[in-house]
Amino acid sequence: MTEFLIGFLKDFFGNEIITVILLSVTPLVEAKGAIPFAFGLGMSAFSAGFYCIASATVTIPLILLLFTPVSNFLKRFSFIAKTLSAAEELIAQKAERLALRAQKKDRSRFKTRFSRKKNNSPLRSAEKNDKGGEKVIYGMLFLLSALPIPLTGIWSSSLIAVFLKLDKLRSFISIAIGNMAASVFLVALMRFFSRQAAIVPNIFIGFLIAASILFIFKSAKSIKKKKTAERKP
Predicted confidence (pLDDT) per residue in 55-75, tens digit: 999 999 999 999 999 988 888
Rounded distance between C-alpha atoms, residue 154 and residue 20, angstroms: 16
Instruction: Return the minimum-mean-pLDDT range out of 12-21, 110-119, 211-220, 223-232.
Output: 110-119
Q: Is the pLDDT of residue 208 over 90?
A: no
Rounded distance between C-alpha atoms, residue 82 and residue 49, angstroms: 37
Q: For residue 75, how many other CB atoms are within 10 A of its CB?
A: 16
Q: What's the mean pLDDT when you consider all of the chain?
A: 75
Phi, psi of 109 (to 5 degrees): -90, 95
The reported pTM is 0.73
User: Where along the chain do its domains lie?
Assistant: 2-231
Phi-psi region of 12 (alpha: psi -120 to 50; beta: other; left: phi over 0): alpha
Predicted confidence (pLDDT) per residue in 114-167, tens digit: 444 444 444 444 444 445 556 788 888 999 899 876 667 899 899 999 988 899
